[in-house]
Amino acid sequence: MQTILFVEDEPTLQKALGLALAQEGYEVKTAADGEAGLQLAREVKPNLVLLDLILPKMDGFEVLEELKKDDATKNIPVIVLTNLESSQDIEKALVLGASTYLVKANYDLKDVIEKVKENIK
Amino acid sequence: MFRFLSKISVFAKIFKECREFNLGPWQCPTFVFFVLGMINIAAMIATYLIAKYYTEPEFVALIVIGVATFFFLISYSVTQGFDQLAKANKMKTEFVSIASHQLRTPLSAMRWTINLLEDNRVGEMGEEQKKYLALVKEGNERMIKLVNDLLDVSRIEMGRVLLQPGQTNLYVLIEKMVKDLSAVAQAGSIAIKLEAAETLPNVYADPSKISMVIQNLIDNAIKYSRGRGEINIKAEKEGKFVKVAVRDQGVGIPENQQKQIFQKFFRSDNTLKNQTSGTGLGLFIAKSVVEESKGKIWFESKANEGTTFFFTLPIYSL
């Protein structure tokens, strides 16, 4: 069974997407801040990371950078899932190595699940 | 001071921006430049006259030093004024960026919760309940769209349209949009006809932004057709451009409102009469996207006969 790490501080979003992914047959691990997310990623080595950008303790960009620097985690695909949308943010995320950048408010759960299936390794 | 000078219409135009930003006269670069200009002229005349009538070089030197110091002080004032304008601009961008993110957070939470319910992921929902849930979803989608439109509008006003242009196949885009909107058109009892060659040359434009423009034009055509006639979309090469025309045979735009059609938040009276929903931002954004893509957008309309919107985009060439 494939594992997905979902780093998101908003509880409703965590619950909703977590539930949907579990029903699709994935094992879902969640973290509510950047530090916990990074630690969990290193421990569990998920098949995909869904990463919010605005997070307490360590923001998504830092987490992304650390994940891609570390040999153990650099090959895990990361989908940035955020409500920020400036061109600098998008560029920064893609340059740091994110596989794709999704604005949460513009996607239904089933669209996010489709992107997950496209990108998971 | 501003009010006095603004009575003279030329000045009113020059100072308009500063008044909009609530800047005082001495913080307003245009005003200060004006004063500077006047002083410059006066100083040159005075220096000439003084040099003519007083031959002591010390006296002239003193005058020149005095004027130079005065200029220095004024320049300092000007840079402060610019600084204020820049700060005001930056605050505006940051505000929109923060506000849109803060609004999107609860909106996405709502959207995904609605998804859970409508996808039957948290139990079966009855048909009656699904109907009302659909209404909630519609409201949620409209709010999300409004936030996205406001973000686009603010970027346009900052002169920072997010365009990623490339070689774009217009035929494919239009065809897809017609297909996507066919259900909506059917609901409005309207047929959409596309007249374009598959060999339509590719254009240089941002495909996702142009899709938005096409969607907006077809959406409007459907909304204002009110079940009358059909919608006809024509796309053809015209010189170095591809011209697209979206024609409907609906209620049309009253002549006295045609000048305002592309304005932000403008919705013509026909919308009230016909109770259509909309943000009034679609055409403003469409115009900005098309013009930023080096094309033109315009329309022809007659009340009760219909409207045709035209836009052009440059053909892609290496």
User: Does pLDDT of B6 surpass 60?
Assistant: no
In our burial notation (b when 16+ CB lie closer than 10 A, e otherwise), range A94-115 reads eebebbebbbbbbbbbeebbeb
Q: What is the pLDDT of residue A25?
A: 95
User: Does pLDDT of A6 surpass 90?
Assistant: yes
Which residues in A lie closer than 8 A to residue B101 (C-beta atoms)?
54, 83-84
Which residues in A lie closer than 8 A to residue B112 (C-beta atoms)?
12-13, 16-17, 20, 104, 108-109
Of B101, B105, B116, the CB nearest to A16: B116
Q: CA A29 → CA A67, B105, B238, distances in Å?
A: 16, 21, 56
Which residues in B lie closer than 8 A to residue A85 (C-beta atoms)?
100, 151
Where residue B3 falls among pLDDT bands split at 50, 70, 90?
Answer: low
Q: What is the pLDDT of residue B273?
A: 62
A121's CB contacts (< 8 A; 6+ apart) are A47, A48, A75, A76, A77
Least confident of A95-104, B4-13, B244-253: B4-13
Residue tagged 């013009």 (tokens)? B291
**Rounded average pLDDT over A87-115:** 90
- Asked whether B301 and B250 are in contact (CB, 8 A), the reply is no
The minimum CA-CA distance between B173 and chain A, rounded to whole Å, is 20
pLDDT tens-place string over residues B230-240 = 999 999 999 99
**DSSP letter assigned to residue B263:** S
Rounded-to-integer distance, Cα A68 and Cα A92, Å: 13
Asked if the Cβ–Cβ distance from B101 to A54 is below 8 Å, we say yes
Rounded-to-integer distance, Cα A11 and Cα B201, Å: 49
> How do beta strands B306-314 and B241-248 pair?
antiparallel
Rg (Cα) of chain A, in Å, rounded? 13
Domains of chain B plus CATH, in order, are 1-160 (no CATH), 166-314 (3.30.565.10)
**Rounded average pLDDT over B261-279:** 71
**Rounded average pLDDT over A60-86:** 93
Q: CA A23 → CA A18, A117, B108, distances in Å?
A: 9, 14, 20
**Greatest mean pLDDT among B23-27, B228-232, B310-314:** B310-314
Q: Which fold has domain A3-119?
A: Rossmann fold (3.40.50)
Rounded-to-integer distance, Cα B33 and Cα B72, Å: 13
User: Does pLDDT of B23 surpass 90?
Assistant: no
Q: Touching check for A88 and chain B: CB below 8 Å?
A: no
**Rounded average pLDDT over B25-42:** 75
Return the closest-CA partner of residue A53 out of A19, A12, A17, A86.
A86
Domain boundaries, chain A: 3-119
Where residue B198 falls among pLDDT bands split at 50, 70, 90?
Answer: confident
pLDDT tens-place string over residues B59-116 = 778 877 887 888 788 778 777 777 877 787 777 777 877 888 889 999 999 999 999 9
User: Does pLDDT of B20 surpass 90?
Assistant: no
**Rounded average pLDDT over A92-99:** 91
Where residue B26 falls among pLDDT bands split at 50, 70, 90?
Answer: low
- The pTM score is 0.66
Rounded-to-integer distance, Cα A31 and Cα A14, Å: 9
Least confident of B21-25, B189-193, B196-200, B312-316: B21-25
Rounded-to-integer distance, Cα B237 and Cα B132, Å: 46
Where residue B270 falls among pLDDT bands split at 50, 70, 90?
Answer: low
> How do beta strands A3-7 and A100-103 pair?
unpaired
| A63 token code pair | 């987490």
Percent of chain B whose pLDDT exceeds 90:
31
A8's CB contacts (< 8 A; 6+ apart) are A14, A17, A30, A31, A32, A50, A52, A55, A81
**Rounded average pLDDT over B25-47:** 76
Which backbone phi and psi does B55 adopt, to 5 degrees?
-95, -5
Q: What is the pLDDT of residue B228?
A: 79
More confident residue, B82 or A62: A62
User: Does pLDDT of B259 surpass 80?
Assistant: yes
Asked if the Cβ–Cβ distance from B109 to A16 is below 8 Å, we say yes
Q: What is the pLDDT of residue B33?
A: 76
Which residues in B lie closer than 8 A to residue A106 (C-beta atoms)?
144, 148
Where residue B155 falls among pLDDT bands split at 50, 70, 90?
Answer: confident
Computed over every residue of chain A, the mean pLDDT equals 93
Q: What is the pLDDT of residue B62?
A: 82
3-state class (DSSP) for residue B201: coil
Rounded-to-integer distance, Cα A6 and Cα A8, Å: 6
Asked if the Cβ–Cβ distance from B119 to A17 is below 8 Å, we say no
Where residue B266 falls among pLDDT bands split at 50, 70, 90?
Answer: confident
B interface with A, Cβ–Cβ < 8 A, is 97, 100-101, 104-105, 107-109, 111-113, 115-116, 119, 121-122, 144, 147-148, 151, 160, 162
User: Does pLDDT of B288 surpass 70?
Assistant: yes
User: Does pLDDT of B32 surpass 80?
Assistant: no
More confident residue, B33 or B215: B215
- Asked whether B222 and B247 are in contact (CB, 8 A), the reply is no
Q: What is the pLDDT of residue B69?
A: 87
